[in-house]
Chain A
């Protein structure tokens, strides 16, 4: 019981971080139809910007300024890069963002070096929030959860309850009509892209010091965010939220299991040859690939994802 509660808590925390990472990606995809391969690079930029700002004026201003800066970079990328690439179709866009990811990594190498930077959790947030069954729960994890849930609520409210949200949604389905009504559709797209990357930047500000801020951090999360978006349903914010929590919990609980593959196959009545490489694998060892297995299964059996709006 105790172990289940702790693992659930760990799973939800990890899931909420995944949601922070993928919400921007799914937003950009649902609004603009762009699958942004460089999304995790904006996450990394967020972490590095926040580190730089924290060395000058502290963590709290960075929490606000770093995502805005990342958003500005994102908007500039859309305005001067993606918009041009867009004319040559989706493949050009895809390749553009793919190349951008490498470019950002090299730029980070040049400016901050190849080694991890010392980006630390602020002292106010370094400590124990509460103890549950004699396991401590750090304040910073609580803070991460708070920001993540706040992000979901704010995004949902913005898109469905405000005027600008309505225009964004309208521009998505009827761009010509919205343009005829006097709105600047390209600028709306630029704002959406900037906003989406700013969200990734915010995740970086928070994830960077919870884990490690280093040039490989984008590559490390780059693939898992796509799993979240595909499983949740391309373009569905709610889906991404559910998928994040699901994947977070799957990973946590599969680490926690002490079963081996042999035990799993024994349940369905298949005996694996003893002592073979496969038979000795444990579920814990498989934990990191389980999300990808889930993605493959979803693509085969339910291509539009858990809550996706369209087949794509």
Chain B
């Protein structure tokens, strides 16, 4: 009895294996936090990738007839765990990975991928980075095996500081950030660039807090208030940003917040009316940038996944560019794909995305927008059902967003 059960089980398992290889797929491992304090961010990203792969690639014929699929690997937001998950993905036959939440994890992955590829030239792995913005990843630490689809902190700060340069109301800036690579970079570039562009602006305070551990931001807000800052610069994301803005709202802080990530993942809900004309963001897209296809894509996405609002246009860019590279190269070999992706110029809904060959950094138009009341015209859509949405204040063309790189790439 027992042995026949085991036999049947083996049979079923072997059948499944055969079935699996028959419907060949291009699989990308999504290595990001799916549990812990940033689970919501990782979860939204994975759903975005799955939806983009389905709508933008698989329903349009796929990659040389094969389906593109994203599979989640939970790195719990930790650099160590990322390496374990990378190993697991490689063992399962994945040749492509993507990651975005946390430059710490991105550093760890870029090192691990470089090492793996040097030792296993016949089984190379390619790393698509959709959101880790530490500039060193495409400068000192740049790698042939790494592509970044988001603008890096240096580019983002360049755009924000150009905007601040013209706004004479800004006199005192307070910098607050998460205590890891990204938070440090935001602080560094804010200080450097403001010192160059606006000598009269005073940096009245600078604080780093542990990432994902602070529940009550009231003491930080009290400090910002004491400093007399009229502007707060923060690179915070996820709950660290929602709670920060919630605390500012509770204490009635009147300063304006310049952010990278206030546009999604629960932050608009946390802000509500208190964010009106107080919170600005820099993104590659928002719901009120007039577009042909993305608007519909976003609305459909929001309907399909209640509680998650479409946020990352760069996820769509990445999926389409990777699929295009594979189709052009007529190959799913990581090296061939990387060569096809280099220097690619891709027309998306907001303009041209160019993957610069020298450092594998994507160049794309950027938008600075402010949280404003929905009016049906310039603010056509609200954000996360709050009645408030994003109004474009400035557009940075792809050309203007470009900065020189110090990358000296080792090419295979």
Contacts and interface: CB of A to CB of B under 8 A. Distances in A.
Interface of A: 2-3, 6-7, 10-11, 13-14, 17, 109, 113-116, 118, 128, 131, 134-138, 140-141, 211-212, 214-216, 219-221, 251-253, 255-256, 258, 282, 284-285, 287-288
B243 A138 contact: no
Contacts of B40: 114-116, 214
A137 B247 CA distance: 10
Contacts of B243: 211-212
Nearest to A285: B208
B239 A138 contact: no
Contacts of A288: 209-210, 213-214
A138 B250 contact: yes
Interface of B: 34-37, 39-40, 43-44, 179, 205, 207-210, 212-216, 218-220, 222-223, 225-226, 239, 242-243, 250-252, 266, 269, 307-308
Contacts of A135: 222, 225, 251-252
A10 to B, nearest CB: 4
Contact of A216 (B37, B214, B308): B37
Contact of B222 (A6, A140, A282): A6
Nearest to A135: B251
Instruction: Name which of B34, B37, B213, B216 has the most chain A CB atoms within 10 A of its CB.
Output: B216
B251 A136 contact: yes
Main SS of chain A's interface residues? helix
A128 B39 contact: no
Contacts of A252: 218-219, 222
Cβ-closest 9 pairs across A and B: A136-B252, A255-B219, A115-B40, A114-B39, A252-B219, A10-B218, A138-B250, A216-B37, A211-B215
A282 B179 CA distance: 12
Given A14-B216, A131-B252, A284 B208 contact: yes
Instruction: Name which of A128, A141, A216, A287 has the most chain B CB atoms within 10 A of its CB.
Output: A216
A103 to B, nearest CB: 15
Contacts of A116: 40, 239, 266
B239 A14 contact: no
Contact of A220 (B34, B213, B269): B213
A288 B220 CA distance: 13
A3 B221 CA distance: 11
Contacts of A216: 35-37, 39, 212
Contacts of A115: 39-40, 43-44, 307-308
B35 A215 contact: yes
Contacts of B214: 288
Contact of A10 (B35, B39, B44, B222): B222
B219 A256 contact: yes
Contact of A7 (B209, B219, B250, B307): B219
A128 B252 contact: yes
B35 A114 contact: yes
A137 B216 CA distance: 14
Contact of A3 (B208, B226, B250, B251): B226
A186 to B, nearest CB: 37
Contacts of B222: 3, 6-7, 10, 135, 252, 256
